[in-house]
Amino acid sequence: MNGIITFFADYTLRNVFLGTMLLGIGSGVVGSFAVLRKQSLLGDAVAHAALPGVVIAFLLTGSKMTLPLLLGAGLTGLIGTFFINNIVHNSKVDTDAAQGIVLGVFLGLGFLLLTYVQKLPGAGKSGLDKFIFGQAATITQQDVIIIFIVEAFVLIIIALLWKELKLSTFDPGFSQSIGFSPKIIELVLTVLIVITIVIGIQSVGVILMSALLLAPAAAARQWTDKLSVMCILSALFGAASGMGGAVISSQVVKMPTGPIIVCFLTGFTIISILFSPHRGIIQAKIKKLYICFYYLKSIFLKISFGLQSKHFFLDNSNLIAELFPVL
């Protein structure tokens, strides 16, 4: 108990803990819709497109205050999605290729601008490289308040548009037939993805922010077929990973936060893929072994009581090949 009190009494640890927890919750919920709508690469493209916005905002304002930098990141993130949509609609390039193009171009531009800024005289530019891999230790109390307000806004929008988002995700044709505009819903979700990514790049970094958006949802999807349960599980996975990664990175000198959070997310995802009761790999193998045992038992009983002809293995060769592919 004393350890917990001491932990939250520390200004930096308290801010890091609360900030990354809120980021994990918001990212998990928004990421659930991105995964189900197969927009995984969009999150990656937006995250990488945010880097030049951070540097441009610094060049224009000369300040490293969080709000101007995040506004710059959000602007270039929206510009990136605008380019993606225009490339897809005005050319024969498919969505994945367009997202890959924008991802590479904006990331290259971001590193180019960052290199330029690093060569400028003065010490005010130091710390911008933390946006690449993230550094949760830089989160202040004001940042926590901003994160709370933004994530609360995102979750409220999702709650208000829950029916529309759910219908357009699972049955877009029906949602359009009853009057829901797919373009408006797509635009709203894209904006929510951009907001979620932008608010999290300070902690996780532009390189790995897409993992915080998508990995919790991918892990939660293994455990349930219900959207509401998936969003809750995804939020829990994201919050736990954010808190764990932030605490460890704050205790180790020069340890970036993003990779630690992603390590936690990887653990949750691997456990879910292996051990989930419905889609888990181990569960599937156990079911297959049970079926094999059942049929072997049936074959043994039939042969033992003389109820099976000698042509059994020829008559059931397809079944045997399916159960024992190695043979």
Tally of CA atoms within 13 A in the half-sphere of 20 that contains its CB: 36
Cα separation, 270 vs 240, in Å, equals: 15
Of 41 and 80, the one with more pLDDT: 80
Type of residue numbered 277: P
Question: What contacts 326, CB < 8 A, 6 or more positions away?
Answer: none
Burial of residue 71, with CB atoms counted within 10 A of its CB: 0-12 exposed, 13-18 middle, 19 or more buried: middle
Residue 139 has pLDDT above 90, yes or no: no
| pLDDT at 244 (0 to 100) | 85
Q: Are 53 and 236 in contact (CB under 8 A)?
A: no
Of 25 and 316, the one with more pLDDT: 25
Q: Identify which of 3-12, 27-36, 255-264 has the greatest average pLDDT.
A: 27-36
Cα separation, 65 vs 251, in Å, equals: 24
| pLDDT at 186 (0 to 100) | 84
Instruction: Please give the torsion angle defined by the CA atoms of residues 49, 202, 210 and 250, in that order, rounded to the nearest 10 degrees.
Output: 150
Question: What contacts 134, CB < 8 A, 6 or more positions away?
Answer: 201, 202, 203, 204, 205, 208, 209, 256, 257, 258, 261
What's the full length of the chain, in residues?
327
Instruction: Please give the torsion angle defined by the CA atoms of residues 101, 102, 107 and 112, in that order, rounded to the nearest 10 degrees.
Output: 90
Percent over 90 (pLDDT), the chain: 16
CA neighbor of 42 nearest in space, from 196, 224, 216, 263: 196
CA angle 140, 189, 259 (to 5 degrees): 45
Quote helix, strand, coil % in the chain, to nearest 5. 80, 0, 20
- Tens-digit pLDDT profile for residues 251-285: 777 777 778 888 899 999 999 998 888 788 887 77
132: its two tokens: 């690449």
Cα separation, 226 vs 235, in Å, equals: 14
Cα separation, 83 vs 278, in Å, equals: 39
Q: Which residue bears the tokens 């540097």?
A: 55
Q: Are 250 and 13 in contact (CB under 8 A)?
A: yes
| pLDDT at 327 (0 to 100) | 44
Q: Are 95 and 153 in contact (CB under 8 A)?
A: no
Max Cα distance, the chain (Å): 92
| pLDDT at 307 (0 to 100) | 47
309-327 average pLDDT score: 51
Residue 254 DSSP one-character state: T
Residue 326 has pLDDT above 50, yes or no: no
Of 227 and 284, the one with more pLDDT: 227
- Tens-digit pLDDT profile for residues 198-216: 888 877 777 778 888 889 9
